Amino acid sequence: MGHNLDYNERTGKHAFFSVKQKAWHSLGTIVEDYPTSSEAIGFAGLDFEVEKRPLFTPNALGMDLLQNTDTIYLGNQHEAIKVNDAFATVRADTQQVLGVVGKDYQIVQNRDAFAFFDAIVGGGDGIKYETAGCLGRGERIFITAKLPDYIRIGRNDCIEKYLFLSTTHDGSGSITAAFTPVRIVCQNTLNAAMKNYVNALRIRHTTGASERLKQAHRLMGMSNALAEELEQVFNHWSRVKISDPQLKKLIQLALAPNPETVEALRIGNPDALSSLYLNTVDSVLDYALTSDSQKMDTTKGTLFGAYNAVTGYHQNVKDYGNEERKLKSVLQGSGMRHNQSTFDLCMGFAKNGPQMLN
C-alpha cells in the first residue's frame, strides 16, 4: 500500500509526525510529547512557504526553446505570453509547481492552518497536536488535534474528541475542518455526521483571515454540542441488544450501493447481488463478531457495537490502495457514506425496533 507522503531530499525525511504511535507505514517523525504548533510544523516537514506566481505560455512564432523534463527555458522573454487571471502555486523551497489557480485564490500557508486551531483555544494546553503531514509534493496538508475530555460510553469505553483539518495548495478543494471522534481502544475513526448536524466546515480559499477565525470558533461550538449529543446516543445504543441475524441485515443495508441492492435484499434475490458487495458484507460481519474492540460490554451484541463494526472496518480492515484514498474515503467518500447510513439505521433501530430492517 503506497503512503504518498512527501519526501524531502534535503532533510532525508518524510513529511509526517505522530505522537508516540507509529502510523503511515512507520514513516516520518515519532515524538514522545505533544508539540506546540510551531514545533509540529517542523516535525511534520511543513515549514515551507507557498507562492502564487504568474503563468506564461510560449509564443509559437520563432521561439528558441531548450527543454528538459521539468523546465522550459525561453530564449527571448518577449516571446512568452502571460496568461491572464491564472497563476501557479509554487513551493518556495523546492520550486515545485503544486497547481494552477485563479486571481482571487488566497494561499493559506501551513502556519495559518495551525493558527486556525490555536485560535479555538488560545494555543494553550487545551489542544494537543497528534499528527500532521503533507501528501504528494506538498499540495495537500492535514492536521489532527486532540481536544480535552472524552465521549464516555459506559464506565470504561471512551472516545477521544479530535479536530481534523485538511487544506490544499493546488486549487483542488476548500479548507475542510471536521469534528472526528476516535475510539481509544482501537483507534477507529468514527464519522460523527449526525442527522440534523453538519460535522464539517468547508471554507473557500477566497475567504479572508478574519472570516476563517470566526469559522474556527463556530467549529468548536458545533463540536461541543455534537459531542454531548453523541455521548447520549452512544450510551443508549450500548444498552440496545441486537441479534447476529439482525446485525447482518443492518450491515447489508448500510453497505448497499444503490436502491436495486436494497430491493434485492427485500425480496430475497441473492443472484442480483455482486460478489464484491457480498464479500464486503462478510468481511464487516467477521470484524463485528471477532475484533477485540467488539467484545467489550458496550459493543458485544449491542447496537453501538453494530455501528462501531462498520466504522472500524473502514478504518482498520478495508484496503484503499494508499493512505490518501483512505483519508478521503473515511472523511468525505464511500466510507463516510456507509458510516452515515449505519448511523441512520441504528437511529431507526433504536426508535422503532428490528422491524425497520424489513
Q: What percent of the chain has pLDDT over 90?
A: 27
The pLDDT, as a whole number, for residue 71 is: 43
pLDDT at position 249, please?
96
Cα 234 from Cα 346, distance rounded (Å): 10
Q: How many CB atoms within 10 Å of residue 38?
A: 12
Q: How confident is the model at residue 261 (pLDDT cuts 50, 70, 90)?
A: very high
What pLDDT score was predicted for residue 72? 46
d(CA 7, CA 332): 25
Q: What is the pLDDT of residues 142-169, one digit of tens each?
A: 888 887 777 788 877 777 777 788 888 9
pLDDT confidence of residue 240? 96
Integer Cα distance of 185 and 67 in angstroms: 55
For position 70, what pLDDT does the model report?
A: 43
Alpha-carbon span 50 to 137, nearest angstrom:
12
Q: Regarding predicted confidence, which is higher, 86 or 315?
A: 86
Kindly report the average pLDDT of the chain as a whole number.
78
Lowest-pLDDT range of 89-93, 100-104, 182-186, 254-258: 182-186
Residue 18 Rama label (left phi>0; alpha psi -120 to 50; beta): beta
Say yes or no to pLDDT of 259 above 50: yes
Look at residue 173 and tell me whether its pLDDT is greater than 70. yes
pLDDT for 157: 77
What span, in angstroms and rounded, lies between the C-alpha atoms of 39 and 135?
Answer: 19
Residue pair 206/104 in contact by the 8 Å Cβ criterion:
yes
pLDDT value for 196: 33
The band of 17, judged by pLDDT with boundaries at 50, 70 and 90, is confident
pLDDT tens digits, one per residue of 178-195:
776 654 332 233 333 333
Model confidence pLDDT, tens digit, residues 312-333: 887 778 776 665 566 565 555 6
pLDDT score of 237 more than 50: yes
Helix-strand-coil split of the chain, %, nearest 5: 40, 25, 35
The tens digit of pLDDT for each residue in 32-77 reads 888 888 888 989 899 999 999 998 877 655 444 444 434 444 555 4
Across-strand partners of 330? none
- Average pLDDT (229-252) is 93
Do residues 31 and 128 lie in contact, with contact meaning Cβ atoms separated by under 8 Å? no
Mean pLDDT within 205-216:
72
Higher pLDDT, 246 or 118: 246
The pLDDT of residue 260 is 94
pLDDT reported for residue 191: 37
pLDDT for the residue 26 = 56
In the chain, % of residues over pLDDT 70: 75
Neighbours of 214 (CB within 10 A): 12
